[in-house]
Structure 1
Amino acid sequence: MIDLIVIGAGPVGLACALEAARLGATARVLDAAVGPGASSRAVGVHPSALLALAPSGAGDAIAAEARQVRRGEARGRGRVLGAVRFARLGGAYPFVATVPQQRTEAVLADRIAALGGSEVVWNAEVRAVRTADDRCAVDVHDAAGGLREEYARFVVVATGARGADLTGLRAAARRHEYPDRYLMADVPDRGADGDTAVIHLHPEGVLESFPLPGGRRRFVAWDRGVPRTASGAADDGARLGERLRHAVALRTGSPAAASAIGAATGFGVRRVLVPRMCRGRVAVIGDAAHEVSPIGGQGMNLGILDAVTLARALCGPERRLTDAVAHLDDALDRWDRRRRRAAVVSGRLAAANTRVGRARGEWGDRARSAVLSGTLHSPAERLLASAYTMRFDPDGRLRG
């Protein structure tokens, strides 16, 4: 019987399996997809997550592939309002690493394979999870249509927000739907901002701009929303791309940067928090347990810290996996309280970022710009840098 079954091969599930493997445990990652995905929702890996992944070698490997963002600027009406300097925070990773999500996942999977003892299995859909005092069983539906049982000492659910509620914990979660909508696209970088991340404040809403490897850049724009057309998703992508091109040209003042945009995607935001992240020998982590607004880029990093700390609680020197549930509960209760507290902090910061980015109108935008400029030219700038890089997370300075 293996130590961990991890359900979900996204960055959070892979981070949990990797840390377990580093500690000498055996883990099997099961995912219903046919193979690694090509989507790239999350692109910013914060110093806190890099530090947590450093003992396995993944922190340095991700940083080596990434654009290293050491400075973020706020701009409005063609002028710089102020800057957040991540490099001033020091530490092993004085930057935000921007890298496509599929590359982060590939690095984690490569490190799992290099350490041995754990594996990633595709085309394996988990239909149910059952627990007993000394083990868990999962029902797995495979590509051939067969159904089998697999056993482990502990199960970790890292299926993301869209995964099935295998534990029943999400049914009792607190939820809040935001009215905000955003447009997003990753495109060739035709601007002149280099490795600087930029937030453009505008009466029509915020526009965020992040550098990516390979001479590319991500644009995310607040949008009033547009109804879907009857012609389908492809047409929607073109129409949303047209809206994003207009937003980029207007809010940055750079038609050249806007000209690179073809199709775009749209998304909404919500906030979710389960009442508990663990029950018996099963835990939920990442977006399966808590969702925060992606504006601020804390969701994936929050999940990676969930994953690494859970693996250490279970597979560290005390080897709590071999304990009865009664003894295991004490360690998991402490972990649960810390990580839900972290989710509350991140949720509040993300909600504040969302509110700041909304359309304000002419005079509201002037007032917002003045307040932000004053903040960034005061000692509070360092606090903003710390908050953005998740140093306020209870495990934000985690070491191996």
Structure 2
Amino acid sequence: MPRAATAPGARIGEHNGRMANSGAVSCVIVGGGPAGMVLGLLLARGGIRVTVLEKHRDFLRDFRGDTVHPSTLRLLDDLGLFDRFDRLPQAHVRQFRLPTSIGTDVVFADLSRLRTAHPYIAMVPQGDLLDLLAEAARAEPTFTLLREHEVTGVLRGGDRVNGVTFRSPDGEGEVRADLTVAADGRWSVVRRALDLPLREFPVPFDVWWFRVTTDRPLAEALLPRIRRGRIGIAIPRRGYVQVAWIGRKGTDAALRAAGIDALRAQVSELLPELAEDVHTIASMDDVKHLDVRVDRLRRWHANGVLCIGDAAHAMSPAGGVGINLAIQDAVATARLLAKPLRRGALAGPRSGRVLARVQRRRRFPTVVIQMAQRVVHARVIAPVLRGATDAVLPRFAGVLLRRLPLLSAVPAFVIGVGTRPERAPRWARHGRAGRDATRCSRA
């Protein structure tokens, strides 16, 4: 089996709280985001030696997929982690409300109607979730997390990828592995190195994220506020509101040139309940620009390497489903590939045939969600930003949802659970690793 190696003087990193020497690695995961950490935890619970490379020192990043949907909450239940997660500071969102053409709003998606243990979206800083997953993974003797290890490329040989190269504070090095998983987001270094065929879709808008500090209570619902040419969404958090400000793509420079006072005035007009607190947006440096993209790889894999999450399919923030779709990719990957990894079946030159199982499993929900997002972009967001309307739902849709409120369970299911939800494999549920190897055979 290939072995991990480093250049002279390079640090391999921290392994369960102590320095680790180079050794055999079955799987190296690029990116310590939600998909990477979930996959690393699951594989380690299956007794597979796995290393996660994270380029940052910590997980503290603002406005990074802070929505934890019912499908992910159920996964945390399966993994025996929900009680710890539930103690984290968080807010709950139970409804999505949309304005209609008759001047009122209607409940479009009601998560409280879902038949699940946790019928809500938990709003938790992503760093808190990742710290929880890392703590659980450190209990597994086959898990290693290397922080401040930025992947710079892939190792090739014998018509396959054999691992990655990295740069750390102590120098450059490499990790060799039977399987390399790219979970490093839409700007994936691994994806660019592989030059896999990509399909891109036009997106007419970008998002600017900022927070408004306030103690004023907001309802447990997300309600977009719309004026012709403007969309704002206030997301309730503990002690502050996270605002998604949606505007036409390519207007970041104009927004910043107008200055913070102009933005505060616009926020006060669109979100009047925050008017007395907009001064807490200190400057335009506090306003983070997201260049929204939607794309997906036509092929997610090559021999020895697999892309999942945004590295395989960049998602729009519409519906906030990206983080949860990526986590479901990770769960499916662990279930489908644990047994082949244990057998060493991914070390050969034809591992791509095995890796294709993941794409076949996860392509359908990806296509469905992206199609739905593109419809929302074209039929809802783009007309508002052009100034053609100030409503999201036409009159007939609003009337129908009022008369038949049970219909709000359908979009709630798509947003909260997904079209192909994944359950943690039985061998990865509850408890610590070091399990008998035969448990993976039931994956």
TM-score category, normalised to shorter length = 0.7 to 0.9
What are the Cα deviations for residues 54-87 of structure 1, in whole angstroms up to 9, with x where unaligned?
3323445334423222223234698433353201
Distance 1:97 1:195 in 2: 10
Partner of 2:54: 31
- Contact map agreement 1:46 1:97 (CA 8 A) in 2: yes
- Contact map agreement 2:204 2:377 (CA 8 A) in 1: no
Partner of 1:296: 319
SS of 1:120's equivalent in the other structure is strand
Structure with larger Rg: 2
What are the Cα deviations for residues 336-360 of structure 1, in whole angstroms up to 9, with x where unaligned?
1121222211212222333313453
Partner of 1:205: 230
Q: Indicate which of 171, 185, 206 corresponds to 2:210.
A: 185
Partner of 1:15: 38
Deviates most, 20-29 or 59-68: 59-68
Partner of 1:246: 265
- Contact map agreement 1:296 1:353 (CA 8 A) in 2: no
Q: Indicate which of 63, 70, 78 corresponds to 1:40.
A: 63
Partner of 1:105: 130
Shift of 1:207: 1.9
Determine whether 1:337 maps to 2:363: no
Partner of 2:169: 143
Q: Please give the root-mean-square deviation of Cα atoms over the aligned residues, in Å.
A: 3.1
- Contact map agreement 2:335 2:425 (CA 8 A) in 1: no
Shift of 1:25: 1.6
SS of 2:317's equivalent in the other structure is coil
Partner of 1:219: 243
Distance 2:251 2:350 in 1: 53
Partner of 1:256: 276
- Contact map agreement 1:184 1:219 (CA 8 A) in 2: yes
- Contact map agreement 1:169 1:274 (CA 8 A) in 2: no
Partner of 1:232: none
Distance 1:134 1:351 in 2: 35
Partner of 1:388: 415
TM-score normalised over the length of structure 1: 0.85
Q: Aligned AA for 1:389?
A: G
Label 1:166 to 1:350 Cα distance change in 2 as closer, same or farther (>3 A).
Answer: closer
Label 1:58 to 1:274 Cα distance change in 2 as closer, same or farther (>3 A).
Answer: farther
Q: Aligned AA for 1:220?
A: A
- Contact map agreement 2:106 2:398 (CA 8 A) in 1: yes
Shift of 1:326: 7.5
- Contact map agreement 2:65 2:323 (CA 8 A) in 1: yes
- Contact map agreement 2:310 2:326 (CA 8 A) in 1: yes
What are the Cα deviations for residues 279-304 of structure 1, in whole angstroms up to 9, with x where unaligned?
12211111111101112111111111
Partner of 1:115: 140
Partner of 1:72: 96
SS of 1:123's equivalent in the other structure is coil
Shift of 1:191: 4.1
Partner of 1:353: 376
Distance 2:281 2:418 in 1: 34
Label 1:135 to 1:322 Cα distance change in 2 as closer, same or farther (>3 A).
Answer: farther
SS of 1:2's equivalent in the other structure is coil
Distance 2:396 2:84 in 1: 38
What are the Cα deviations for residues 219-240 of structure 1, in whole angstroms up to 9, with x where unaligned?
11222463527xxxxx94x956
Distance 1:130 1:176 in 2: 31
Distance 2:82 2:393 in 1: 36
Label 1:161 to 1:134 Cα distance change in 2 as closer, same or farther (>3 A).
Answer: closer
Deviates most, 131-140 or 86-95: 131-140
Question: Identity, % of aligned pairs?
Answer: 25
Label 1:72 to 1:179 Cα distance change in 2 as closer, same or farther (>3 A).
Answer: closer
Determine whether 1:281 maps to 2:297: no
Aligned length: 391
Q: Aligned AA for 1:382?
A: A
Shift of 1:323: 5.7
Shift of 1:124: 2.0
